[in-house]
Structure 1
Amino acid sequence: MANPDNPNNSFEVQCPATDSFSSLCWHPRQNYLVATSWDNQVRCWEVMATGQAVPKSATSHDAPPLCSQFHADGNSVFTAGCDKQAKRWDLATNQATQVAAHDAPIRHLSWINELNMLVTGSWDKTLRYWDLRQQSPAHTQTLPDKCYALSVSHPLLVVGTAERYIQVFNLAKPDQVYKQLQSPLKHQTRCIAAFPDKQTTGYLVGSIEGRVAVQHVDDHLASKNFTFKCHREEGGQDIYAVNSMCFHPTQGTFVTTGADGTFNFWDKENKQRLKAMSKCKAPIPCAAFNHDGTILSYALSYDWHKGAAAHNPAAAINKIFLHAVQDSEVKQRKKTR
C-alpha cells in the first residue's frame, strides 16, 4: 500500500528547509543537486547510486533566492532572487561572489555557454547579459513587462512576461527581438521550456489555468501548434497552475508539475500523456532532470497559489524527492488506435 506522505515511492532528500522551495538544478555531468528556498538558503547534495542524498555544502542570500543553474564546467552555481543580485557560488571554496544586479528581484537566470555569458531576467522589466569579467552588463534588453518565465536552448531564448507577452530571441542577435506575441493561453504565464531539439525551434508555455501550449517559432510550422489541458481534477471543476516544465535530456519528452501536487510525463510529438503520477500532499513548485535523465528531482511545498490565507506554517510541507525515471515514462510511443 502506498505511503500517503510519499505516494510515488520516491527517495526523500533530507533537508532542513523551513520555507517553500523556489528552484532545483543539477550538475551538468554528475549527480550533484542544488535547491533554493524562501528561507534564503541554497543547499547542495551529492546523490549516491543508492538514492541517498548526502549534504555537501550550503550558502545564503540576504533575501529569498528564486532561481539557480550550474555553470557548464560544473564547478560553480549561479543563484539570484529577491535581493536583486545574482551570485556565483564556487563549490570548491564555498565562496559566493556577486556577478549581476538589477533594480528589482531577479526571477530567472541562465548560463549561455556558447556566448560565455549569464543572462538574468527581472521584475524591473529587463533582460541583462553579463560577461563575468566585467561589472556592468554587456547588454540590457528592455522587456514589455516583468519577467515571469525564461528558457534558453541556444540559439533560442524565450522570455514570458506579465500581461502574457512572449518574446523570442535568436542569440546570434540578442539585442533584436526575433518575434513578439501574446501567449496563446488566456491566463498568466507561469513557465516556459525551450525545445532541446536544434532542428525544430519551439517552446512550451504553461499557465496558471492548467494548460500548456506547444509553440513553433517558424511560421510554416504553425499548423503543428496546439494546446492541452492538465493539472485539473476529474470533472474539471478544480483547475491548478502549471508550476514548472522540463524536457528529458535525451528523449525529447517532458514533465509538468502542478499546484495540484502531481507530475505528469508527456510526448508532444504523439500528443499524449505517457504517465500520470500519484497526487502528493502539497503543490510541486519545481522539478529538474539530472544530466542523463535517470532521476527526476521534485519539491513539495506551498506555492502561494491561494495567497497567505491558505498558508499554515505549522502544517507546511517542505520536502524534496528523487524519482527513479522509468523508460516507459519518458520514451516516445505511437498512439494505439
Structure 2
Amino acid sequence: MSLFGTSAAAQPNNTVGDLKGDVAVPNPPEDSISDLSFNPSPNDQKDFMAVSSWDKKVRIYEVNTSTGASEGRLMYEHNAPVFSCHFAKDGKRVVSAGADNQARLCDLESGKNETVAQHDQPIRSVKFFEIDGGQQMIVTGSWDKTVKYWDLRQQQPVAAVQCQERVYTMDVKDNLLVVGTADRYINVINLKEPTKLYKTLQSPLKWQTRVVSCFNDSAGFAIGSIEGRCAIQYVEDKDSSSNFSFRCHRDQAQGNTTQVYAVNDISFNPAHGTFSTAGSDGTFHFWDKDAKHRLKGYPSVGGSITSAKFNRDGKVFVYAVSYDWAKGYQGNNAQYPTKIMLHPVLPDECKPRPSVKKR
C-alpha cells in the first residue's frame, strides 16, 4: 500500500510524475513562503515541519507521513519577514532568521523563543550544525557579507568569516559548510577549521546563485541559479567529468524562444542520494547525479515553488507554492496561490538508476 492511501503505481518507464496523491497542509502562511525544514530526529514517532514566511511568522506543523494529515502546533513571530528556518538534530528546537537582522531560537516543548544571533543587515540563511562532542551550534549568513558562528550559551558570536559579497544561500552537512554569495562566489569551509576558507570558486553557472545544497555524504554540493541551470560540484577534484551542469526549469516556446526560470530550491533524498530541483515555473523534478539522468518530472502546480524538501526518511516530499517575485511587483496579485503540499514519494520515483559500469 502506498503512502497517503493512493493506489496509483507509477510506470517504471514513465518519467512524468503524478500529483493526484498530493495533500495540502491546512492553515498555510498568509504571505510568500521562504523556507521549509523537517524534524531530523529518528527518535520521535511524529514528523514536525517548520515553515518560515514573509508574513513575519514561523509555523510548526505536525505531519502524519503515512496519511498526509497535518495540523498546526505552534507559531511565533519575528519583527520582519523571515527568510530561513532549520531544525536542531534532536528535533526539539527550531532556529529562524530574516529581515529583522536577528536569529530566534524556539523551544518546541515550552513554546518560548528568544534572540540568539544578530547581524548588521538581514540574515539570509541560518543552520544548526554539530561540533565534536555533540554540541549544537548555529551558523548565520547575512547580507552584511559575513558568516557568524554562535554558541547558544553566550550572546556574542564565537567567530566570524568575511565573505566577498552578500550571502544569498548556505547549506551544511557534517563538516562541510557551503556559502553562496552575490557575484557568484562559492565558499567551501571545513567546520573543523571554521574561520578558514578551505576553497573559493566562482559558480560554473553564468548567472546569479539561488541555492546551494550539500550531498548526503558531504563530498560535494549542487548549485542552482536564476538561469534554469543546476551544477554538480565535488569538493575535491576527481576527474574531468565529475563536475558538470545541466539545463532544467526551461520551456521551449514557439519559434526559437526559450522561457528560463529560476531554480529556487534543491534537496537531496536522505535514503537514496538522488535530489530534487524546484523552480519558478511551478514544477519539480527528481534527478540521479551519478547517472546524470532525470528520474521524474512533474506538471506545473499552478504557481512558483519557493521551497521544497524531503522529510527525514525520504518518503515524503514537501513543496511550497507562493509568489517568488520573479516578475516583480506587477506579477503579484490577490489570487496568487499560497499553499504547502505533501507529495508521497513512491518507491520508483527517487531510486537511482542501476549502474551500467563494470569493473
The alignment's TM-score, normalised by the length of structure 1, stands at: 0.94
- Residue 3 of structure 1: aligned partner: none
2:263 equivalent to 1:276:
no
2:229 equivalent to 1:217:
no
Write out aligned runs for 1:131-150 (5 A): 131-150=151-170
Kindly provide the CA deviation profile for residues 169-206 of structure 1, in whole angstroms up to 9, marking residues without a partner as x: 111111111111110000000000111114xx111010
- Residue 308 of structure 1: aligned partner: 329
Residues 305 and 103 from structure 1, CA distance in 2 versus in 1: closer, same or farther, beyond 3 angstroms?
same
Identify the range of structure 1 (293-302 vs 214-223) with the bigger mean alpha-carbon deviation. Answer: 214-223
- Residue 21 of structure 1: aligned partner: 33
- Residue 272 of structure 2: aligned partner: 251
- Residue 77 of structure 2: aligned partner: 60
Residues 36 and 104 from structure 1, CA distance in 2 versus in 1: closer, same or farther, beyond 3 angstroms?
same
Deviation for aligned residue 1:16: 4.3
Identity rate of aligned residues, in percent?
45
Q: Is residue 166–residue 183 contact of structure 1 (8 Å, CA) maintained in 2?
A: yes
Unaligned runs of 5+ in 2: 1-17
Kindly provide the CA deviation profile for residues 102-161 of structure 1, in whole angstroms up to 9, marking residues without a partner as x: 000100011012353100000000000001111110001000000011111121111010
Q: Distance in 2 between matches of 1:121 and 1:326?
A: 35
2:143 equivalent to 1:127:
no
Write out aligned runs for 1:145-156 (5 A): 145-156=165-176
Deviation for aligned residue 1:234: 3.2
Q: Is residue 7–residue 279 contact of structure 1 (8 Å, CA) maintained in 2?
A: no
2:260 partner SS: coil
The alignment's TM-score, normalised by the length of structure 2, stands at: 0.89
Write out aligned runs for 1:1-337 (5 A): 7-29=19-41, 30-48=46-64, 49-114=66-131, 116-198=136-218, 201-235=219-253, 237-312=258-333, 314-334=334-354
Kindly provide the CA deviation profile for residues 11-69 of structure 1, in whole angstroms up to 9, marking residues without a partner as x: 10012422110001111134111111111111111112321112111111110111001
1:306 partner SS: coil
Kindly provide the CA deviation profile for residues 274-296 of structure 1, in whole angstroms up to 9, marking residues without a partner as x: 00011111000001111111111
Identify the range of structure 1 (230-239 vs 126-135) with the bigger mean alpha-carbon deviation. Answer: 230-239
Q: Is residue 216–residue 222 contact of structure 1 (8 Å, CA) maintained in 2?
A: no
Q: Distance in 1 between matches of 2:97 and 2:75?
A: 15
Residues 274 and 285 from structure 1, CA distance in 2 versus in 1: closer, same or farther, beyond 3 angstroms?
same
Q: Is residue 148–residue 189 contact of structure 1 (8 Å, CA) maintained in 2?
A: yes
2:183 partner SS: helix
Q: Distance in 2 between matches of 1:221 and 1:86?
A: 40
Deviation for aligned residue 1:220: 3.3
Q: What is the aligned length?
A: 328
Residues 145 and 275 from structure 1, CA distance in 2 versus in 1: closer, same or farther, beyond 3 angstroms?
same
Identify the range of structure 1 (6-15 vs 47-56) with the bigger mean alpha-carbon deviation. Answer: 6-15
Residues 16 and 326 from structure 1, CA distance in 2 versus in 1: closer, same or farther, beyond 3 angstroms?
closer
- What amino acid does structure 2 have at the position aligned with 1:300? V
Q: Distance in 2 between matches of 1:185 and 1:67?
A: 24
Identify the range of structure 1 (303-312 vs 112-121) with the bigger mean alpha-carbon deviation. Answer: 112-121
Identify the range of structure 1 (327-336 vs 16-25) with the bigger mean alpha-carbon deviation. Answer: 327-336
Q: Distance in 2 between matches of 1:172 and 1:25?
A: 25
Q: Structure 1 runs of 4+ off > 3 angstroms?
A: 6-9, 220-223
- Residue 11 of structure 2: aligned partner: none
Q: Is residue 28–residue 340 contact of structure 2 (8 Å, CA) maintained in 1?
A: no
Deviation for aligned residue 1:221: 3.8
